[in-house]
Amino acid sequence: MENQVLTPHVYWAQRHRELYLRVELSDVQNPAISITENVLHFKAQGHGAKGDNVYEFHLEFLDLVKPEEEERLNKLRIESQGSPETLASLKKGYLFMYNLVQFLGFSWIFVNMTVRFLILGKESFYDTFHTVADMMYFCQMLAVVEAINAAIGVTKSPVIPSLFQLLGRNFILFIVFGTMEEMQNKAVVFFVFYIWSTAEILRYPFYMLSCIDMDWKVLTWLRYTMWIPLYPLGCLAEAVSVIQSIPIFNETGRFSFSLPYPVKIKVRFSFFLQIYLIILFLGLYINFRHLYKQRRRRFGQKKKKIH
Closest by alpha carbon to 228, among 294, 136, 282? 294
Say if residue 125's pLDDT is above 90: yes
| Structural contact between residues 290 and 279, judged by C-beta atoms closer than 8 angstroms | no
The pLDDT-based confidence of 277 (bands split at 50, 70, 90) is: very high
What's the pTM? 0.70
Q: Which residues contact 279 (CB under 8 A, 6 or more apart)?
A: 168
CA 54, distance to chain mean position in Å, is 40
DSSP letter, residue 123: G
Q: Which residues contact 240 (CB under 8 A, 6 or more apart)?
A: 188, 191
Say if residue 53's pLDDT is above 90: no
What pLDDT sits at residue 307?
44
More confident residue, 102 or 58: 102
pLDDT in tens, 224-236: 999 999 999 999 9
What pLDDT sits at residue 306?
43
| Structural contact between residues 223 and 206, judged by C-beta atoms closer than 8 angstroms | yes
| Structural contact between residues 224 and 199, judged by C-beta atoms closer than 8 angstroms | no
Say if residue 78's pLDDT is above 50: no
Averaged pLDDT, 119-124 = 94
- How far, in Å, are 45, 87, 138, 188, 255 from residue 177 at the CA level? 58, 41, 15, 10, 14
Sorted by where each begins, the domain ranges of the chain are 9-77, 84-288
More confident residue, 69 or 192: 192
Please state, in angstroms and rounded to a whole number, the distance separating the CA atoms of residues 245 and 225. Answer: 31
* Residues belonging to the chain: 307
Burial (CB count <10 Å: 0-12, 13-18, 19+), residue 202:
buried
- Would you give the end-to-end CA distance of the chain in angstroms? 75
Q: Tell me if residue 231 is catalytic.
A: yes
Please state, in angstroms and rounded to a whole number, the distance separating the CA atoms of residues 242 and 276. Answer: 9
| Structural contact between residues 140 and 169, judged by C-beta atoms closer than 8 angstroms | yes
Q: Of 238, 251, 285, 292, which residue is the catalytic one?
A: 238
Q: Of 194, 231, 276, 292, which residue is the catalytic one?
A: 231
Please state, in angstroms and rounded to a whole number, the distance separating the CA atoms of residues 183 and 167. Answer: 19
